[in-house]
Amino acid sequence: MIVFVSGAVRSGKSEAAEACAIRLSRGGRLHYIATAQATDEEMAERIRRHRERRAAQAACWTVWEAPFTSREIVVSLQVGDVVLLDCLTAWLADELFFSESWKTEESAQATARRLLDEVRAWAAACRAVVIVSNELFSGGVPDDPGTFRYMKTLGLLHQQLVAEAAVAAVVECGLLRVKKGRWPQ
């Protein structure tokens, strides 16, 4: 099962996704795939706050921090486990820009297909994968070709994941709106 949670930066989507993953786990093991890397002070602070929030939760997370290999994650999963990927936006950016696969449409799409295959492998190996991603599409078309290719690739990846997801929701100003399926209770 895939649950897709999107929203703007600082909308509350991570908190909603964490609560969803805990509910879905039914006491089973929880895996937190943290894709952000501390490339500047602001990101280091955001990562610190996420770590503190996880530590304060009653749930016990196995945390996989970037850089990670998908293979080591998938082999560690059990049928009753729940995976939280936070967030797809940072994961795709790292994969596109660190490898320079953003430079051509073909390599960007190949990267997106690989990430999609990795999510599918996790979903096949456990109870649920909860995916967090940012909505970046209301601000118009960027002038920079690399940013534009990244946004197009992310948009196509969002469409594919939502098509395969059992549940898709958007968080705006801390308010969750379910767009597809039923939010886990």
Residues involved in catalysis:
50
Q: What are the angstrom distances between the C-alpha of 18 and each of 8, 38, 61, 78, 126?
A: 16, 21, 10, 19, 16
The three-state secondary structure class of 180 is: strand
d(CA 185, CA 110): 36
Token pair for 19: 């609560």
133 and 154 Cβ atoms separated by less than 8 Å? yes
d(CA 58, CA 43): 25
Residue 63, φ and ψ in degrees, nearest 5: -105, 130
Spacing of C-alpha 84 from chain mean position: 7
Residue 130, φ and ψ in degrees, nearest 5: -105, 120
